[in-house]
């Protein structure tokens, strides 16, 4: 196996996205292995087949004692994010030949050769991509700089680590914070793992900020990067190969709408973008997106049942106390935990 590899994390409902990512990743690397961290029940025999070179690693195999408790406390986005450092650690431990390991969000497609990602890790131990590379005008349009200040300077849809003492130190620090503080609570200054990573270049000096304009292109930086029909990105007058595009917030139900959020740049402003969106929608549909999208993950179902049971128990106790035991039988049947 190659000394470089990559992985993503998803539930079964996101497998069509992960499959599109895996297909394009394998087509743009030579001998790299790709892993899918499945935060769900193990795949059954009737599940869609994955391409050769892809290995599924169920969350239940992580050996994480806190997993069940985290699954009851976190929603599915928070849980998948919280398991990122644990997946990094497990893949490094289980595959000692892997020297460079890259994480990619499942809603990414690869368009260019990814050896450039390894180049950055030839000296650095940690590699990050910022949301944007140049100042944004204070013109009231969205996305804007406060978006990065509120959600993180770096987009953790990508992260690269080189096997090193510094990377393992990062994983230890990161994993500890993900146990209880991987939440979406902007009032408390928390947005899953992204705001934590504002501190990483300070705590870990061997961190590289990857400034390649073709890396992690998405709705939040299209105002500074123009896509071309030839899978290139024009940034400040120079052309660069498009490495990977992040379809964050995209749904095939709205095939020509990049995201439901307001954006500076859409399909009317960049002709190449419309073709990319339609092609991505076709790829997802070919991987049974419509059928799989409705599947509730095992951990989400467990959490939902736990929350309903907890709410019923709370209502039951309050009702019994207030009514001094004189509760109609029909209400008892409805609320009894």
143: preceding bond cis by omega (within 30 degrees): yes
Beta bridge partner(s), residue 127: 160, 208
Alpha carbons 69 and 104: distance in angstroms, whole number: 26
In the predicted structure, residue 324 carries a pLDDT above the cut 70: no
Alpha carbons 106 and 110: distance in angstroms, whole number: 11
Residues 265 and 219 sit within 8 Å (Cβ to Cβ): yes
Per-residue H/E/C for 95-107 = CCCCCEEEEECCC
What is the SS3 assignment for 232? strand
pLDDT in tens, 98-122: 999 999 999 999 999 999 999 999 9
Q: Where in the chain is the domain with CATH 3.90.550.10?
A: 4-295
Beta bridge partner(s), residue 36: 8, 56
Residues 6 and 161 sit within 8 Å (Cβ to Cβ): no
Q: How confident is the model at residue 46 (pLDDT cuts 50, 70, 90)?
A: confident
| Entry pTM | 0.90
In the predicted structure, residue 332 carries a pLDDT above the cut 70: no
- Helices 165-178/84-94 angle, 10° precision: 140
Alpha carbons 15 and 293: distance in angstroms, whole number: 9
68 C-beta neighbours (distance < 10 Å), count: 12
Round the average pLDDT of the chain to a whole number and report it.
91
Please give the CATH topology (third level) of the domain spanning 4-295: Spore Coat Polysaccharide Biosynthesis Protein SpsA; Chain A (3.90.550)
Residues 133 and 191 sit within 8 Å (Cβ to Cβ): no
Quote the longest CA-to-CA distance of the chain: 77
Lowest mean pLDDT among 53-67, 260-274, 323-337: 323-337
């Amino acid at each position: 196996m190659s000394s470089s590899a990559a992985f993503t994390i998803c539930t079964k409902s996101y497998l069509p996205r992960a499959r599109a990512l895996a297909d394009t990743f394998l087509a743009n690397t030579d001998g790299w292995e790709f892993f899918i961290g499945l935060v769900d029940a193990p795949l059954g025999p009737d599940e869609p087949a994955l391409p050769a070179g892809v290995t599924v690693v169920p969350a239940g195999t992580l050996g994480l004692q806190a997993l069940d408790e985290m699954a009851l406390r976190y929603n599915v986005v928070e849980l998948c994010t919280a398991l990122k450092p644990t997946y990094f650690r497990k893949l490094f431990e289980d595959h000692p030949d892997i020297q460079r390991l890259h994480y990619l969000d499942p809603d990414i497609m690869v368009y260019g050769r990814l050896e450039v990602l390894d180049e950055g890790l030839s000296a650095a131990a940690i590699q990050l991509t910022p949301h944007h590379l140049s100042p944004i005008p204070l013109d009231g349009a969205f996305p804007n700089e406060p978006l990065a200040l509120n959600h993180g300077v770096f987009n953790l849809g990508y992260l690269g680590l080189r096997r090193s003492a510094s990377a393992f130190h990062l994983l230890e620090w990161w994993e500890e914070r993900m146990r209880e503080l991987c939440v979406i609570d902007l009032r408390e200054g928390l947005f899953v793992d992204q705001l934590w990573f504002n501190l990483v270049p300070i705590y870990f000096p061997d961190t590289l900020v990857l400034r390649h304009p073709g890396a992690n292109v998405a709705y939040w930086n299209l105002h500074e990067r123009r896509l071309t029909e030839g899978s290139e990105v024009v940034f400040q007058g120079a052309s660069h190969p498009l490495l990977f595009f992040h379809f964050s917030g995209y749904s095939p139900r709205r095939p020509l709408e990049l995201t439901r959020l307001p954006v500076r740049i859409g399909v009317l402003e960049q002709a190449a973008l419309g073709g990319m969106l339609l092609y991505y929608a076709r790829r997802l549909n070919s991987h049974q997106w419509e059928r799989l999208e409705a599947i509730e993950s095992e951990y989400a179902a467990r959490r939902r049942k736990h929350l309903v049971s907890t709410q019923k128990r709370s209502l039951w106790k309050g009702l019994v106390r207030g009514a001094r035991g004189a509760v109609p039988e029909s209400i008892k049947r409805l609320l009894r935990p």
